[in-house]
Structure 1
Amino acid sequence: MSNKLITDIFIDGARKGWNIAIHSTIPNVLMAFVIIYILNTSGLLKLLGEYVGFIMAPLGLPGESIAVFLAAFLSWGGAAGVLVALVQAGSLSASDIAILLPGMALVGSTVQYMGRVLGVLGVPGKHYLVLFGICMINAYLAMFVMKFII
């Protein structure tokens, strides 16, 4: 057992948390805000909502909300940033957020985990599409159920 004081352990944990925030969370959220700003300013977010938004319509969500779902594959923090940016733009309501959160949780950071988990375990790449598909189906079903709960 270590002879470290509880305060030293706390400080070590705080330093690690600070490093995670500075090197991972904040850049992901900032990136999401910038991407949504660019998409919104250029009109591409509206086009995305019009042409791919039909996927979100059965959930009672606006088409632009698909950007949150897509961002969740890359980063949970990024998806949260996209979500907040769309709320600030007036595109999402509180009930929309409640519907999106289970989907974000179930696909959160899938691309990051692909390398960290599947790659390390040696899972053949031919199985990734099936595994991603399962994540997407689970997430969509969870959001669909949430639509009826709220």
Structure 2
Amino acid sequence: MSEKTENKLLTDVFVDGARKGWNIAIYNTVPNVLMAFVIIYILNVSGALKIIGDYLGFIMLPLGLPGESIAVFMAAFLSWGGSAGVLVALVQNGTLNATDIAVLIPGMALVGSTVQYMGRVLGVLGVPGRHYGVLFGICILNAYLAMLVMSMIV
């Protein structure tokens, strides 16, 4: 530990951490969640959410979920916070219930922000782009299997 760190008071460390946490919430998490609410509202009002649910709903059917729930799963690839916003918006409009949430949470966790993290990690490691599809596929399969198991439990 450096001398500067050793001389910091516990309250200073706490305040610094709280300030960093506040900034992450305000500048990263809240905008993602707000964006998700707006997108779901627009999709819902325009009828596009229903169309997405009708055409892609067969994917969620074995999980006992409504077709519109695929929006939560798709949003999770881009942003964990955004998918949470989509989830809450669908709960608010009556599309999802508590059981649906319990089934979706493992999938959200396993694909949460995949696009962001894969781009950062795989790009830095120099993994060829041709392997990304397989890696995304494994991620999707793991998440789907976790949601399938959860649907059997609840």
- How far, CA to CA, are the matches of 2:83 and 2:76 in structure 1? 5
Identical-pair percentage: 80
Match of 1:124 among 123, 128, 137: 128
Measured against aligned partners, the alpha-carbon deviations of 1:31-74 in whole angstroms (never above 9, x if no partner) come to 00000000000000000000111000000000000000000000
Which of structure 1's runs of 4+ aligned residues deviate more than 6 A?
none
Please report the TM-score for the alignment, with normalisation by the length of structure 2.
Answer: 0.96
Shift of 1:147: 0.6
Is 1:110 paired with 2:114? Answer: yes
Match of 1:149 among 127, 149, 153: 153
2:103 maps to a residue whose letter is I
- How far, CA to CA, are the matches of 1:46 and 1:92 in structure 2? 13
Aligned to 1:20: 24
Match of 2:143 among 139, 143, 148: 139
> Any idea what SS the aligned residue of 1:135 has?
helix
2:121 maps to a residue whose letter is V
- Segments of 5+ residues of structure 1 without an aligned counterpart are none
2:88 maps to a residue whose letter is V
Number of aligned positions between the proteins: 150
Shift of 1:117: 1.1
Q: Describe how 1:35-114 pairs up with structure 2 within 5 A.
A: 35-114=39-118
Shift of 1:120: 1.3
2:153 maps to a residue whose letter is I
Shift of 1:118: 1.2
- How far, CA to CA, are the matches of 1:137 and 1:25 in structure 2? 26
- How far, CA to CA, are the matches of 2:22 and 2:120 in structure 1? 21
Q: Which structure has the larger Rg? A: 2
Please report the TM-score for the alignment, with normalisation by the length of structure 1.
Answer: 0.98
